[in-house]
Amino acid sequence: MTGVALGQREPPFRLTSLAHGGGCGCKLAPSVLQQLLGKTSLASPFERLLVGTETGDDAAVWRLDDENCIIATTDFFMPIVDDPHDFGRIAATNAISDVYAMGGSPLMALAIVGMPIDKIPLDVVRDILAGGAAACAAAGIPVAGGHSIDSLEPIYGLAVIGRCGRENLRRNSTARAGDALILTKPLGVGVYSAAFKKGALPQDSYAEMIATTTRLNKIGAVLGRDANVHAMTDVTGFGLLGHALEIARGSSLRLRLDPSALPFLSQAESLARAGFVTGASTRNWESYGESVVFQDDPPLCRRQLLTDPQTSGGLLIACAAAAASRLVEEIRAADCPGASIVGRMEAGIPEIIVG
């Protein structure tokens, strides 16, 4: 039995059977992406381009005038679940998150659709699009158009346009020494998806996975207006360690994580111990493991959870330490009950210390 949660009936059509990967685990490894972008000139002749490719940030940002910015991003992937409506909701929620991670609010979206039309029923495609439209409606934006192609594997996502005030823009490279780190969603989506594909994910855990991956990171737009919030990013395909390292490198600081404070989905650790991990977790570690120091000798499954690719993951926030507790309470009240203080920024070489 594959592609179902324990207790579910075998679906009449399994989306995941048509894809070699799924969710943000499809992303290229960080090391490969660095090779592809490494020769791209960091010097831009466009003075209004405030954020480009220089720090691996979540979206591009263009200055309209002295007060206003436009945010642009795109994100798409192959199915992580078999239910087409859930797949559409997850993919759209994930794409919109990039705007929230920059401190902005989304304005509209364009659909990106690639489907093997000789293998997939049209009503399944309609359900995927409907799921994406539902997520956009929850974010208060329209799907204003898009583009579709006939492809070998099913692909869905969005290009999203957003806005923010220039003073509210938050990057992944502006953390300060002494900042506290807040994570807004629990980790373990990649582990859950690996178990799902092998028919080993309990039904209640499947519901838990859908709940977290379809929860919009709307709080990012609120946090962008708080002067105590210095930097933000969302945790997706590179895992917690990979996106934390982007903050450390961009800010030229050491980042320290408290492993006892990290939030996990309820069955993430037990499933990881049982071997339900993704290939992307291993690729992630191979890409940046030399910049991570564990102060104890954790079991392999714990390291794998920290490199686990998160589809539609939470925000990782660097904020003034004195405001961290208040911010956590505000984030929890905004439908992110798992938000926790998970570490801090320190002076030092750009690396991650776990412990």
**b/e sequence 202-235, b meaning 16+ C-beta within 10 Å:** beebbebbbebbbbbbbbbbbbbebebbbbbbbb
Question: Which tokens sit at 156?
Answer: 């869905």
Task: Work out the widest C-alpha separation in the chain, in whole angstroms.
Answer: 57
Q: Can you tell me the distance from the alpha carbon of 226 to that of 245, in angstroms, rounded to the nearest whole number?
A: 23
Q: Can you tell me the distance from the alpha carbon of 42 to that of 40, in angstroms, rounded to the nearest whole number?
A: 6
Q: Can you tell me the distance from the alpha carbon of 196 to that of 81, in angstroms, rounded to the nearest whole number?
A: 8
The answer for residues whose C-beta is within 8 angstroms of residue 28's C-beta and 6 or more apart is 36
Looking only at the bridges linking them, the beta strands covering 340-346 and 254-257 are antiparallel
**How deeply is 260 buried, as exposed, middle or buried, from its count of CB atoms within 10 A (0-12, 13-18, 19+)?**
exposed
In contact, 258 and 343? CB cutoff 8 Å: yes
Q: Can you tell me the distance from the alpha carbon of 25 to that of 12, in angstroms, rounded to the nearest whole number?
A: 25
Cα 107–chain centre separation = 20
In contact, 180 and 342? CB cutoff 8 Å: no
- Using the structure block, give the residue that is written with the tokens 């984030």: 331
Residues assigned a catalytic role = 24
Helices (H) and strands (E) counted in the chain, each on its own, are 11, 15
The answer for residues whose C-beta is within 8 angstroms of residue 261's C-beta and 6 or more apart is 340, 341, 342, 343
In contact, 98 and 61? CB cutoff 8 Å: no
